[in-house]
């Protein structure tokens, strides 16, 4: 029942998706670590950022129920948000200026995971960008908007965990 990664006690938490959405997937599995030692374990801290699932971010604690196929857990609900935010970005594979834009996001504390993805727009690199709780999410969003305006990427918001003040 437990998928593991390295020496850590990680499992997959599966998020149901709409296969009619742009990505075409019925679900997405995220690595997570059990939070409590009590049995049965139902609380998990997400250990990677979602590419498609919305409403959750890196280090959020979620509730899961055992999958009917015995392979991990199905997402039930969020127990506690971590304060991180997630944005998904699609970039052409040979973008000559992506690194200049990414450097600005990296300087704000952002990190990413990436993978190649076939879309109706052709091959693209999909980035899941994690914005830590201490980062300036408004500055990050401004850079994301600028990159979209300048044709560097397309982006969507996955989850805003930052406390936003008016």
Instruction: For 128-163, write each residue's pLDDT tens digit.
Output: 999 999 999 999 999 999 999 999 999 999 999 998
**pTM attached to this predicted model:** 0.87
Strand partners of residue 111? 130
Which CATH fold topology does 85-159 show?
A: Alpha-Beta Plaits (3.30.70)
SS3 breakdown of the chain: % helix, strand, coil, rounded to 5?
Answer: 15, 40, 45
- The pLDDT score that the predictor gives to residue 164 is 77
Mean pLDDT, residues 31-37 taken together: 87
Mean pLDDT, residues 51-74 taken together: 93
Domain ranges in the chain?
11-80, 85-159
Instruction: For 74-129, write each residue's pLDDT tens digit.
Output: 999 999 999 999 999 999 888 889 999 999 999 999 999 998 877 666 788 899 99
Whole-angstrom distance, CA of residue 86 vs CA of residue 94: 24
Whole-angstrom distance, CA of residue 71 vs CA of residue 77: 18
Whole-angstrom distance, CA of residue 61 vs CA of residue 44: 5
Whole-angstrom distance, CA of residue 147 vs CA of residue 98: 9
Length of the chain: 166
């Amino acid at each position: 029942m437990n998928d593991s990664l390295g020496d850590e006690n990680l499992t997959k938490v599966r998020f149901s998706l709409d296969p009619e959405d742009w990505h075409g997937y019925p679900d997405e599995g995220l690595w997570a670590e059990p939070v409590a030692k009590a049995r049965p374990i139902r609380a998990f801290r997400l250990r990677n950022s979602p590419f498609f699932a919305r409403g959750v971010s890196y280090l959020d604690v979620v509730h899961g129920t055992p999958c009917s196929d015995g392979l991990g857990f199905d997402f039930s609900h969020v127990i506690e948000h971590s304060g991180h935010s997630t944005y998904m970005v699609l970039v052409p594979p040979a973008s000559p200026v992506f690194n200049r834009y990414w450097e600005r996001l990296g300087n704000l504390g952002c990190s990413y995971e990436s993978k190649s993805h076939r879309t109706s727009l052709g091959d693209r690199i999909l980035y899941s960008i994690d914005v830590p709780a201490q980062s300036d999410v408004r500055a990050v969003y401004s850079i994301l908007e600028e990159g979209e305006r300048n044709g560097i990427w397309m982006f969507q918001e996955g989850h805003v965990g930052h406390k936003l003040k008016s």
